[in-house]
Amino acid sequence: MDSADAADTVVVADGLTKRYGDRTAVRGIDIQVRRGEFLGFLGPNGAGKSSTLRMVACVSPRTEGRLSVFGMDPDRHGPAIRARIGVVPQQDNLDTELSVSENLRVYARCFGIRRREVRRKIAELLEFAALTDRAGAEVETLSGGMRRRLTIARALVNDPELVLLDEPTTGLDPQARHLLWDRLLGLKRAGVTLVLTTHYMDEVERLCDRVIIIDQGRIIEQGTPPELIGRHAPPEVVELRYPPDRQAIAAEKLAGLCERVEVLPERLLLFVHHSEQALSEIYRSGLPPESSLVRRSTLEDVFLHLTGRSLDD
């Protein structure tokens, strides 16, 4: 990498490995995160996403490999790196007995921000989190979405250049997720580099410039969401339901009508280029399904194709 590239690259990992005793969570992965990009780590539970993020966040030492964040080694320069990043952990660790603004104040003081500056900062972060009218409320009284927004706001107290988010929307309802996505896109527009882990493919498709698909501690694919879908899945999917005793026969017979068939426990997925044509051929085939649905291909289909499993297996 030349020096111009190095200035544009916030995180570089080569052969990054994490073992817990005899369990290997991350198996020699190579990553580069470019300044200003929104990168997603997509993978099922236990894939090694959090372990990777925790090494970058300098809270978990690597076992092997090279890792550099802002050109520094987390083993030797942890505090200097941590001063420039914001971390949103998987579990909220807010102080539930303190108010919303006190949670921000305590954190700001930890970063040594001056008293006068703290007040301005808190007002700005409350507005960012859409919590201005809840400033005095105890955290215990907040909804899950509000708590997540507060956790993110707290991670921004030090104006980080890089924000690491571990499954930021797990457990939130759709409205709360959308509000949070909106805030994250606002950060990206402001030039912040963002890395998130998730097992929601729609989250990656909406937010991320680039995605790294990780499974069993290894990177299995990476690229922009449209690139990955274009590389691994024809554009449309016809989902068909059959009675269990007819599914295998249908899968065999309909295979000739599409580019690929995936057989899931309760449905068949037919990957096609022209769904209308495919559907009329399916209904003419003498094997009419109980129900059918047409949708576009997604990153979930890419994951299924690459691993034979679904993201929430």
Q: Which residues bind ligand ATP (CB under 6 A)?
A: 20, 23, 25, 43, 45-51, 197
As measured in angstroms, the least distance from the Cβ of 71 to ligand ATP is: 25
As measured in angstroms, the least distance from the Cβ of 49 to ligand ATP is: 4
Instruction: Give the amino acid at 193.
Output: T
Phi and psi at residue 193, in whole multiples of 5°?
A: -85, 130
CB closer to ligand ATP out of 43 and 234: 43
- Which residue do the tokens 């372990």 mark? 51
CB closer to ligand ATP out of 29 and 100: 29
CB closer to ligand ATP out of 122 and 180: 180
User: Please, where are the H alpha helices in 93-238?
Assistant: 100-110, 115-128, 144-155, 174-189, 201-207, 225-232
As measured in angstroms, the least distance from the Cβ of 77 to ligand ATP is: 23
CB closer to ligand ATP out of 15 and 61: 61
Given a contact cutoff of 8 angstroms between Cβ atoms, the answer to whether 89 and 166 are in contact is yes
As measured in angstroms, the least distance from the Cβ of 99 to ligand ATP is: 30
CB closer to ligand ATP out of 49 and 177: 49
As measured in angstroms, the least distance from the Cβ of 297 to ligand ATP is: 23
CB closer to ligand ATP out of 49 and 147: 49
Question: Cα(74)–Cα(57) distance, rounded to whole angstroms?
Answer: 8
As measured in angstroms, the least distance from the Cβ of 12 to ligand ATP is: 20
**Among candidates 210, 220, 261, 217, which has minimal Cα distance to 238?**
261
Given a contact cutoff of 8 angstroms between Cβ atoms, the answer to whether 49 and 43 are in contact is yes
- Counting DSSP H helices and E strands in the chain, the numbers are 12, 13
CB closer to ligand ATP out of 43 and 168: 43
Write the CB contacts of 180 (distance below 8 Å, at least 6 apart in sequence): 145, 148, 149, 152, 168, 169, 172
As measured in angstroms, the least distance from the Cβ of 197 to ligand ATP is: 6
Buried b (16+ CB within 10 A) or exposed e, 110-124: eeebeeeebeebbee
